Amino acid sequence: MRFSARARAVTTYLVLQMAVLGAAAPLFAQDFYKGKTITIIVGTKAGDAYDLYPRLMAEYMPKYIPGSPNVIIQNMPGAASMIAANNVYNVAKPDGLTIGAIYPALYFDQLSKKPEVRFDWSKFQFLGSPVVSYHLLYMRSDAPYKSIEDIKKASTPPKCGSNGTSSTGYWLPKLLDEVIGTKFDIVVGYQSGGDVDLAVERGEVQCRAFTITAWFAREPFITWRKTGFANVLFQSGEKRDPRLKDAPTIYELMDKYKTNATGRRLTTVVLAASDFGRPLVFGPKVPADRVKLLRNAFDKIVKDPAYIADAEKRKLDVEPIDGMKLQKLSKEVIAASPDVVQKMQKLLGTGE
């Protein structure tokens, strides 16, 4: 009897202990960051738009991560941020002290099975993105293409400029070719988006696809909109941007031209890059409690009025998307069916 009473006591003690430990676990994570330094590895050079967001975030993180760790930025540019992504996934210690700030479209490379990809996109632990970026395609208004219909019918295709095969300027028109049946002639090789805009001014090319944000925030577009130098022919969001009431969305176009199911799935997979925005990620083995802590901090930062005011001052859009949503999305894009993957490879020119 005594024995069993003792056993009961031990069991109770153990249960209590476990309960205390269980409750303490988050406490451990909170303590963990005290006096530590978090490094955000940014996959671009300093000063790039992809660099500006993490730098802004870094200023607010100590306030919202329990233990107020130091947060520093390390630029690890190269290979469209794939060097940084591989590093965060494989090399960095999975202790929750290394965050990656990487390109949203890196999963294209995984789907097209590039051997250099050393990560599984769906196993990155997404903390969130401070912004989602939808795209548009502008066309010089003196060109004979006033609508997507005109482009479909045209005997000579319009020439769009792009600064590389991995940029929006390349894959957005290509996607339209695939799902709507337009024919764009894409001139690749410009050094930057600005170079393409200059080429459009000169009349070397007539169109370019890029973010809606820039169209409304920057020159030369402010002048172009004023003088009617260029028009927007379509946009990539699910709903029309309130500022772009006259431009159809790609979904409306797909309805109009009766795109088949494969084409629609392809569109979903490709345009998911818009939602990934400018993602912040942890590697796959970072403990769940630390991921949770950082996701919470992210959600609070993007709601902080001081952060929002600061971002607006720096002309950075605030349209955050949280880590859980991105996590779900990452599983969806990686689970894309083989026919979609094959189309995608064709689209990006990476297939055999």
Partner 1 sequence: MIEAFTSGFWQVLAWPAFGYLLLGIGIGFWVGLLPGIGGLATLALMLPFSYTIKTPIEAFCFLLGMLAVTGTTGDLTSILFGIPGESSSAALILDGYPMSKKGEAGRALGAAIMSSLIGATIGALTLAISIPIMRPLVLLFGSPELFIITIMGITFIGTLAGASLIKGLLAGGIGLMLAAIGVDPQTGSLRYTFGSLYLWDGLDVTPVVVGMFAIPEIIDLAVRGTAISQAPKEKLKGVMEGVKDTFRHFWLVVRCSLIGVYFGVLPVLGANVAQWIAYGHAARSLKDKSRAGKGAVEGVLGPGAANNSTRGGDLIPTIAFGIPGSASMALLLGALLIVGLQPGPEMLKSRLDVTFAMVWILIISNIIVAGISFLILNHLAALTFIRGSLLIPFLLVLVFIGSFTANNSIYDLVVTLIFGTLGYLMLLNGWPRPPLVLGLILGKIGENYLWISTAAYGAKWLAFPSVLILIAITISIVAYPTIKERRGRAKYDRPEDAV
- Closer by beta carbon to partner 1, 204 or else 319: 204
* Count of residues that interact with partner 1, criterion CB under 8 A: 51
Contact call for residue 220 and partner 1 (CB under 8 A): yes
Stretch touching partner 1 by CB under 8 A, among 8-16, 143-151, 323-331, 343-351? 343-351
Stretch touching partner 1 by CB under 8 A, among 185-193, 244-252, 297-305, 334-342? 185-193
- Closer by beta carbon to partner 1, 93 or else 314: 314
Contact call for residue 187 and partner 1 (CB under 8 A): yes
Contacts of 20 (CB under 8 A, 6+ apart): none
**Closest distance of CB 116 from partner 1, Å:** 6
Which residues 222-261 are close enough to bind partner 1 by CB under 8 A?
A: 222-223
**Closest distance of CB 315 from partner 1, Å:** 5
d(CA 106, CA 277): 12
Number of neighbours of residue 202 by Cβ within 10 angstroms: 8
**Closest distance of CB 138 from partner 1, Å:** 14
Among 219, 228, 258, 338, binds partner 1 (CB under 8 A): 219
Contact call for residue 191 and partner 1 (CB under 8 A): yes
Which residues 37-96 are close enough to bind partner 1 by CB under 8 A?
A: 45-47, 51-52, 55, 74-80, 82-83, 86
> Would you state the structure tokens that stand for residue 266, as one six-digit string?
């392809």
Contact flags string 303-322 toward partner 1, x per CB under 8 A = ----------xxx-------
- Closer by beta carbon to partner 1, 342 or else 350: 350
Strand 280-282 with 185-188, pairing: unpaired
d(CA 247, CA 231): 9
Among 120, 142, 195, 339, binds partner 1 (CB under 8 A): 195
Contact call for residue 348 and partner 1 (CB under 8 A): yes
**Closest distance of CB 159 from partner 1, Å:** 6
Which residues 127-166 are close enough to bind partner 1 by CB under 8 A?
A: 159, 163-166
d(CA 3, CA 297): 49
**Closest distance of CB 62 from partner 1, Å:** 15
- Closer by beta carbon to partner 1, 119 or else 251: 119
Positions that interact with partner 1 (CB under 8 A): 45-47, 51-52, 55, 74-80, 82-83, 86, 115-116, 159, 163-166, 185, 187-192, 194-195, 197-199, 201-202, 204-205, 217-220, 222-223, 313-315, 348-350
